[in-house]
Amino acid sequence: MSVRRETPGGHTALEGALAERGLVCRVEARSGLAVLIADAATVAALGNADLRRDALALAREHGFSHVAIELRADASLPRA
Amino acid sequence: MTETSAPLHAPASATAREEALAAWLRERGRVAIGFSGGVDSAYLAVVARRTLGPEGVVAIIGRSASYPAEQWATARRVAESFGIAVRELDTAELDDPRYAANPSNRCYFCKTELWTKLAPVARALGCKAVLDGTNADDLADYRPGAQAAREQGVSSPLAELGFTKADIRERSRELGIPTWSQPSSPCLSSRLPYGTSVTPQRLAQVEQAERALRALGIVGDLRVRYHDDLARVELSRDVLADWLVPDRLAELRVAVRAAGFARVALDLRGFRSGSLNVLHGVTAA
């Protein structure tokens, strides 16, 4: 059994990697879960199966076993 | 006590397995079945009723806060449709601090509570054996509840005879059992990550959220996973893209927030059985 764990700073690195694919969002790390806090444009983009697969693969690379997207109108707010 | 293990000589087809199951049941006589109204126990109960007659089987439902009300209604409907005698008993696993603490072997304590209450009822009703709906696929999964069943002498004929979930669905469809296409429906506590204590309030919150999502017309596999203030919604991969549309995701969010979650997120991979086992490293991703 081998489950990777999110590495320190993994969420910010994931944010950058997602942004390079055009998926702008904030990433909140909750243990192995990455919550992508995104606006409507990013949600709509992830309706595309290929982009979704990319996002999941990137998250795995950064140590997250689970990825979920939260729609927020204030997605661009600075990190708390 | 019956040990459940992978069958060495399972009949080759689902139909042949069903014949073997009927023979297995005839050898036992009157049986009691731990009956949840799920795909597996419904199939087992119907075959037992057909094989042993109305006096040959009693389906026993264990009720608690972790058992969804919708599932109970399904169980009662199936039993009524097929003329299966039903008994109900209340289980109190939430009163057991070992269960409520929600360790990774939580199911062991739940099933111990169920079977230790159910077995005496079955004996009092003249049943010669107590059965559950464990199937052959389940044997490969992490199921601490199976240990409790073994300790209490519960038999799992579907697993012993090599029935896969697909077999059970196929035969259920053939027999006209409405659960044939029903998604798997584990107890509500499975929505809470290990270590998050199980309370009636949290279970009710998850149940209300899932009911609200069904009311939106979501079909197939569906789970609302509890992460404190955040609900992580897992939908069947067949319908996932339909909800990755801003307006629809907003609709989904409103429905789940009404159950008391401050935040709602949609899982991008979709439904995964045992998803929280993966998240907590109990099973591999």
Contact A3 B278 (CB under 8 A): yes
CB B95 within 8 A of CB B122: no
CB B62 within 8 A of CB B89: yes
pLDDT averaged over 10-residue windows placed end to end, chain B, 285 residues: 51 92 96 97 98 98 95 97 98 97 95 97 97 93 87 96 96 97 90 95 97 95 96 96 96 97 97 75 59
C-alpha torsion angle, residues B69, B71, B72, B76 (rounded to 10):
140
Contact B244 A65 (CB under 8 A): no
C-alpha dihedral sign at B62, B65, B70, B73: positive
Q: What ipTM was estimated for this complex? A: 0.87
Chain B interface, mutation test: which of A51, A52, A65, A74, most B Cβ atoms within 10 Å?
A65
Q: Which of A14, A40, A49, A48 is nearest to A28 (CA)?
A: A14
Confidence class for position A9, pLDDT limits 50, 70, 90 = low
Q: % helix / strand / coil in chain B, to the nearest 5? A: 50, 15, 35
Read off the pLDDT of residues A31-48 as tens digits, 9 standing for 90 and up.
Answer: 899 999 999 999 999 999
Give me the residues of B, 236-275, that contact A with CB < 8 A: 241, 244-246, 249-250, 253, 263-269, 275
Q: Give the whole-angstrom CA distance, residue A33 versus residue A36.
A: 10
- Search chain B and give the residue with CA nearest A72: B250
pLDDT at A76: 55
Nearest to B266 among A4, A65, A68 (CB): A68
CB of A13 within 8 Å of any CB in chain B? no
- Our CA-based measurement puts residue A66 at a distance from the nearest CA of chain B, in whole angstroms, of 7
- Our CA-based measurement puts residue A47 at a distance from the nearest CA of chain B, in whole angstroms, of 5
pLDDT at B282: 59
pTM of the model: 0.85
CB of A49 within 8 Å of any CB in chain B? yes
CB of A79 within 8 Å of any CB in chain B? no
Structure tokens that stand for B43 in this block: 């199939």
| Displacement of CA B125 from its chain's centroid (Å) | 24
Contact A70 B263 (CB under 8 A): yes
- Search chain A and give the residue with CA nearest B240: A47
- Search chain A and give the residue with CA nearest B265: A70
**For residue B244, what are the CA distances in angstroms to A15, B198, B217?**
19, 31, 15
Cβ contacts of B270 on chain A, cutoff 8 Å? none
Confidence class for position A75, pLDDT limits 50, 70, 90 = low
Burial class, B99, CB count within 10 angstroms (exposed 0-12 / middle 13-18 / buried 19+)? buried
Contact A44 B269 (CB under 8 A): no
CB of B279 within 8 Å of any CB in chain A? yes
pLDDT at A1: 34
- Our CA-based measurement puts residue B113 at a distance from the nearest CA of chain A, in whole angstroms, of 30
